[in-house]
Amino acid sequence: MPQPKRKAAWIRLVEQNAGLVLSAVLLVIAIVLYCAIYYAAQGRLPGGFELTTTVNNTMPLVFAGAAQAIVVITGGIDLSVGGVIDLTNALAALYLGDSPLSMVLCTIGVIAVGGACGLLNGLLVAYGRLQPILVTLATLAIFQGLAIRVLPAPGGSVPEAYTAILANFEAPYSLVFIVVLLVVWALVRRTSIGVGIYAIGNDDLAAKSSGVKNLRSRVTAYVLSGMLAAVAGLFLVANATSGDPTTGNGYTLRSIVAVVLGGISLFGGRGTPISAVIGAFVSTMIVNILFFAQIDPLYQSFFEGVFLVVAVLLTAIISRLMRRRAVA
Amino acid sequence: MDSPSALDPPAEAAGPSAPLLVECVGLRKTFGGVVALNDADFNAIAGEVHALVGENGAGKSTLIKAIGGRIRPDAGTIRIKGQAQALGAPEDGHALGIRTVFQELTLLGGMTVAENLLIGREPRGRLGFIHRRRMGEEAEALLARMGIEHIDPLALVEETSLAERQIVEIVRAINNRPDILLLDEPTSSLVEREVNWLYGQIEELRKRDTCIIFTSHRWHEIRNVADRITVFRAGRHVGTFEDIDESEAITLMTGKRVSTLYPAVPPLPARDAALEAKGLRGGRLNGVDLTLHKGEILGVGGLAGHGHRELFFSLFGAERTSGGEILVGGKPVRLASPRQATRRGIDIALVPEDRKTEGLFLGMSIRNNMTLSVLGRISSAGVLNFGAERRVAEEMARRLGVRMQGLRHPVGSLSGGNQQKVLIGRWLLMEPRILLLYDITRGVDVATKHELYELVSRLAGQGHSILLYSSDAEELAHLPHRVLVMREGRIARELAGPDMTAESIVSAAVRDTAQS
Ligand SMILES: Nc1ncnc2c1ncn2[C@@H]1O[C@H](COP(=O)(O)OP(=O)(O)O)[C@@H](O)[C@H]1O
Ligand SMILES: [Mg+2]
């Protein structure tokens, strides 16, 4: 048998986390580009205020991207992310009270509603053996409808204290929530369900033959996704300080973009939601860059698309090069 | 010819004396219109190694899947340790102490070897969460305990070779200390040394009173390790034997009488060189000299990784060479791509071992797969002539004896051996003078092997020149005129005549390696 030929630990780490590394590289490129353009436009470098706004503006997408990533890792896709955000956003705007107790209960309640939305998706996909894309397309419409029912027009209000916690204007305190997200994910990854989520994304039948609880893992993935989307809805409402039952609509596509920019394979079984978090920031930086480049807002989506294609091409090319090196 | 009365099988083994660990009665399973198991019986006892043999498509894998709980039979009973069981999922089998290495491996490509090995029994930390670092260490220790040191437990499964995956899967199954271990063609992607490792493991398990049921197409393997052999044909149990020789087994497997497995070697015409290599270098090749004559079957043997694969692909223009010469019909040629190799006047064709990834489109019809190489010839003005295509494919399928329901059925519906014939047919349609056959009988059942041998022999008799690599030393000893044994990218030894035995081929490859 061939002699042992072990790779150095760090090379293996980079190779096995190529998506994460690539998204980090993309983020660095985007930040440098942003600073340069900002400097050209404003005559100084961006400071604390810019950092805080960027973080606050990105938080909803951070959680929406993570929500999408978990389902994508199982080999599925969740188009209902935007609908869950609409619904939870509306519920929060309506029910958030000023007392700390009300805020805690309302937060828990809203996340539970998100989890219930995910449960519906998960049950239909896992037990109904339906295509995730069809199920979540249908539930997207359902959740959007429910959101309009809950809050027919933009309105409601968010207590200032709530905004101060989730979207503080003074400093990027909400980065703490990203740390919480990472810790929670690290723990989930270390459970049988976490292993199962990756296993079913790799190969459903093989997972089953290996003794993985396929149905349970899949349903849990959708429930987690729904809960994370609900958190995204809470961040959105806190940042806007009032509710809007349609504000989440764009998040379905943007969450997929964050996942792709995070270098997570849409085929499933690979990658980590952490890189979707980074992908979310890359996505925000692209918008910032376009803003300071004084692109006519009318053309903004055109350039966003161009950036996206370039980023995705870059990801594909670099990961192919890395793979070739790994084989050689 | 299917009637069993026409056969007189050797005496069946007496009923087992130990209590039955596995007992299947009247199993039936159909897939669409295909009957995979047809009233099949089978039994096995503790502490025995039980080989399951039969042609491709005889239902061996289906039986194993039924016992392993991966599929549920339509009818019949499976008793495990005396209890009737309704096995609906692999974990039902796991609970009863059954572990299976399925023919199509079930590892998770995007996860590490360690995660795969320990899935479901990961080491946990104090809070009940999986301890990733300890998992790597445990996997390493587990592999080391079983004598495997070349597999990195932290590598992703998709980074490992097919043989390594097979080994990981076997290690995983054994590590669960099963009472019943099912192995479906466990050696199909292993080289000699790894096969010996597996024998060692099986021996250990037998001592622990494990019941091991395995399938294989390699007869010497079956003879060496099996205590009992069960023959399946067309979804049915034909017989169970303690001792049966190869030709008797083939007769039972096919329902036809086969006198000898290997056809007589056809006589060599004048010794005209058809294909020559002179000092060929590049990749693993380290100066290969060889001459293949017209009408000759020239065998190539040696251990894996010693350059035969590179040799074949270089001669087909699919691998770059860095030095040396290739001559066809005495004239030097440059082969920079397979397209150049298949050109008129050169006429070289290669049939690779891995039909699925290197040649056939399983979802497409037999006809389309066959005529892919000659689309230009059967088209007029760029438009395919369906009539001509059908005629050409029909003729070739008949010539090769492809056993199929019809030309329009997908290649994926054929047994492995018949898929191989379709691939050979594709190249024969180009009327090549030189055929490079790379381990074409790997994973093919004995009966189809026999047909392929006759085909090779017939082609040589018709003047084709054939370079044949095989991982089966037995095959090399019988089929070709001469055998070249490769070692470290060179031809280390040429064997012909009475020296050409399986033992001498193996020892030439092994001894030479040991000396280096
Ligand atoms: N999942 C399946 N779908 C359709 N046909 C199948 C399937 N599995 C097996 N078969 C068919 O059942 C028969 C028996 O197959 P199998 O048990 O794999 O044979 P063996 O392992 O002896 O080669 C074959 O004709 C095969 O084509
Ligand atoms: Mg089989």
| Partner residue facing A198 (CB), from B110, B155, B305 | B110
Q: Is B135 exposed, middle or buried (0-12, 13-18, 19+ CB in 10 A)?
A: buried
User: What confidence score (pLDDT) does residue B191 get?
Assistant: 79
Distance CA B89, CA B73 (A): 12
Is A16–B156 a contact, with Cβ atoms under 8 angstroms apart?
yes
Pocket flag, ligand 1, residue B56 (CB < 6 Å): yes
Among B23-27, B58-62, B502-506, which stretch is predicted with the lowest mean pLDDT?
B502-506
Q: How far apart are CA B306 and CA B227, in angstroms?
A: 34
Give the separation between CA B487 and CA B491, rounded to whole angstroms.
6
Instruction: Return the number of other C-beta atoms located less than 10 Å from residue A114's C-beta.
Output: 31
pLDDT at position A300 is: 79
Residue B5 has pLDDT above 70, yes or no: no
Q: Quick one: what percent of chain B has pLDDT higher than 90? A: 41
Task: Say whether B130 and A190 touch across the interface (CB within 8 A).
Answer: yes
In this structure, the strands spanning B83-85 and B236-241 are unpaired
Expressed in angstroms and rounded, the spacing between residue B433 Cα and the centre of ligand 1 is: 36
Whole-structure pTM value:
0.79
Cα dist from B428 to B159, B204, B396, B422, whole Å: 35, 47, 8, 10
Question: Does the C-beta of B471 come closer than 6 Å to ligand 1?
Answer: no
pLDDT per residue over B69-99, tens digit each? 889 999 999 999 988 888 878 888 889 999 9
Q: Do B108 and A198 touch (CB under 8 A)?
A: yes
* Mean pLDDT score, B329-352: 87
Q: In this structure, are residues B318 and B404 in contact, taking their beta carbons and an 8 Å threshold?
A: no
Instruction: Output the pLDDT for position B15.
Output: 58
State whether residue B75 is helix, strand or coil.
strand
B425 lines ligand 1 (CB under 6 A): no
What integer pLDDT is reported at residue B512 of this predicted model? 46
Selecting from B70, B129, B305 the residue whose C-beta is nearest the C-beta of A209 gives: B70
Contact (CB, 8 A) for B311 and B284: no
Residues B250-305: tens digit of each pLDDT: 888 877 766 677 888 888 877 889 999 999 998 889 899 999 999 999 999 988 77
Per-residue confidence (pLDDT) for residue B6, from 0 to 100: 41
Q: Beta strands B434-438 and B348-351: pairing type?
A: parallel
Distances (CA, A) of A268 to A118, B29, B97: 18, 32, 32
The answer to whether the CB of B418 is under 6 A from ligand 1 is no
Place of tokens 């290739």: B326
Tell me the pLDDT tens digit for each residue of B402-413: 878 888 888 888
- DSSP conformation class of B153: T
Cα B453 to Cα B459: distance, rounded to the nearest angstrom: 10
Ranges of chain A with pLDDT below 70: 1-5, 319, 322-328
Alpha helices of B182-288 — where are they, by DSSP H? 192-207, 219-225, 246-254
Mean of pLDDT values over B143-167: 91
The Cα–Cα gap between A274 and A62 comes to 9
Average pLDDT, chain B: 86
Q: Can you tell me the distance from the alpha carbon of B182 to that of B49, in angstroms, rounded to the nearest whole number? A: 10
B122/A269 CB distance under 8 A: no
- The Å distance, Cα B52 to ligand 2 centre, comes to 10
- What distances in angstroms separate CA B216 from CA B188, B238, B302, one per listed residue? 8, 17, 21
Task: Give dist(CA B101, CA B88) in Å, integer.
Answer: 17
User: What is the Å distance from ligand 2's center to B59 Cα?
Assistant: 7
pLDDT score at B354: 64
Asked if residue B457 lies in contact with residue B465, where contact means CB atoms within 8 angstroms, the answer is no
Q: What's the token pair of residue B430?
A: 């180009």
Interface of B with A (CB under 8 A): 70, 89-91, 94, 100, 102, 105-112, 115-116, 119-120, 122, 125, 129-132, 148-150, 152, 154-156, 159, 193-194, 197, 305
Cα B42 to Cα A200, B39, B125: the distances in Å are: 33, 10, 44
B200 to chain A nearest CA, in Å?
15
**And the tokens for B251?**
């007769």
B34 lines ligand 1 (CB under 6 A): yes
Place B445 in a pLDDT band, splitting at 50, 70 and 90. Answer: confident
What 3-state DSSP class applies to A59? helix
CA B150 to centroid of ligand 2, rounded, Å: 28
Q: Helix H segments across A241-299?
A: 251-261, 273-292
Of B508 and A91, more confident: A91
Q: What is the DSSP letter of B9?
A: P
Question: For B341-361, how does the pLDDT look when each residue is reduced to its tens digit (9 = 90+)?
Answer: 888 888 898 887 765 556 788
User: pLDDT tens digits for B170-229?
Assistant: 999 999 999 999 999 898 778 778 889 999 999 999 999 999 999 988 888 888 899 999
Candidates A208, A209, A266, A267: best to mutate against B (most CBs of B within 10 A) is A209
Task: Determine the distance from the C-alpha atom of residue B157 to the mean position of all C-alpha atoms in its chain, rounded to a whole number.
Answer: 21
Q: Helix H segments across chain A? A: 9-16, 18-42, 48-73, 81-95, 100-126, 132-150, 160-166, 175-189, 192-202, 204-209, 214-240, 251-261, 273-292, 300-327
Report d(CA B311, CA B446) in Å as an integer. 27
Query: Nearest-CA residue of chain B relative to A10?
Result: B154
- Residue B12: predicted pLDDT: 65
**pLDDT given at position A278:** 96
> Which domains, and CATH codes, for chain B?
20-254 (3.40.50.300), 272-347+432-516 (3.40.50.300), 357-431 (no CATH)
pLDDT at B4: 43
> Among candidates A103, A61, A108, which has minimal Cα distance to A85?
A61
Q: Which chain A residue has its CA at the smallest distance from B160's CA?
A: A327
A195 neighbourhood in chain B, CB within 8 Å: 115, 119, 122, 130
Cβ of B420 closer than 6 Å to ligand 1, yes or no, is no
User: Given a cut of 70, is residue B8 above it in pLDDT?
Assistant: no
Reference B225, options B252, B201, B208, B246; nearest CA is B201
Q: Which residue type is seen at B144?
A: A
Q: For chain A, list residues whose CB is within 8 angstroms of any CB belonging to chain B.
A: 1-7, 12, 16, 187, 189-192, 194-195, 198-199, 201-203, 205-212, 269-270, 326
For atom 3 of ligand 1, the residue with the nearest CA is B31
| B272 token code pair | 């005209």
CA distance B338 to B389: 23
Distance CA B370, CA B418 (A): 12
ipTM: 0.88
**How many inter-chain contacts (A to B, CB under 8 Å) are there?**
82
Quick check: A4 and B149 CB within 8 A?
yes
E strand spans, B164-305:
180-184, 211-215, 228-233, 236-241, 273-282, 285-293, 297-301
Q: What share of chain B is helix, strand, coil (3-state, %, to 5)?
A: 35, 25, 40
Q: What is the pLDDT of residue A3?
A: 47
* Per-residue pLDDT at B90: 81
In this structure, of A241-255, B174-188, B321-335, B383-397, the range with the lowest mean pLDDT score is B383-397
pLDDT the model gives residue B258: 65
Candidates B34, B37, B216, B445: which one to mutate for ligand 1, based on the most atoms within 8 Å of Cβ? B34
In sequence order, which ranges of B211-316 are alpha helices (DSSP H)?
219-225, 246-254, 308-315
Query: B506 φ, ψ to 5°?
Result: -65, -45
User: 3-class SS at B196?
Assistant: helix
pLDDT in tens, B447-485: 778 888 988 998 899 889 999 999 888 889 999 999 999
Query: Do the Cβ atoms of B130 and A191 come within 8 Å?
Result: yes
Is-contact B217 B189, C-beta < 8 A?
Answer: no
Closest residue, chain A, to B163 (C-alpha): A1
Check pLDDT > 90 for residue B159.
Answer: no
Beta bridge partner(s), residue A243 = A155
Q: What is the dihedral of CA A141, A143, A144, A147, to 10 degrees?
A: 160
Q: How far is ligand 1, taken at its centre, from the CA of residue B387, in Å?
A: 32
The residue behind tokens 């190694």 is B49
Determine the pLDDT at residue B277. 93
Across the range B504-508, mean pLDDT stands at: 85
Using CA atoms in the order A155, A64, A105, A223, what is the torsion angle rounded to 10 degrees? 130
B396 Cβ contact list (under 8 Å, min separation 6): B370, B425, B428, B429
Q: How far is B491 from chain A (nearest CA, A)?
A: 21
Q: How confident is the model at residue B244 (pLDDT cuts 50, 70, 90)?
A: confident
How many angstroms separate the CA of residue B90 from the nearest CA in chain A? Answer: 5
Q: What is the largest distance, in Å, between two alpha-carbon atoms of chain A? A: 70
Residues in contact with A56: Cβ distance below 8 Å, sequence separation at least 6, in sequence order? A167, A168, A169, A172, A174, A239
Token pair 């197409």 in the structure block, residue: B217
Q: How far is A229 from chain B (nearest CA, A)?
A: 25
Q: How far B129 CA sits from the closest chain A CA (Å)?
A: 5
Mean pLDDT of B102-125: 91
Q: Does residue B59 surpass a pLDDT of 70?
A: yes
B210 lines ligand 1 (CB under 6 A): no
Q: Which ligand number lies closest to the CA of residue B58?
A: 1
* Cβ-defined contact of A203 to B89 (cutoff 8 Å): no
Handedness of CA B15, B21, B27, B31 (dihedral sign): negative
Sequence-ordered alpha helix ranges (H) in B49-150: 60-68, 90-95, 113-117, 132-145
**pLDDT tops 50 at residue B513:** no
Two structure tokens written together for A323 = 């793979």
B163: its two tokens = 């043989």
Contacts of B264 (CB under 8 A, 6+ apart): B457
Residue of minimum CA distance from atom 6 in ligand 1: B31
Could you tell me the two tokens for B470? 């095989």
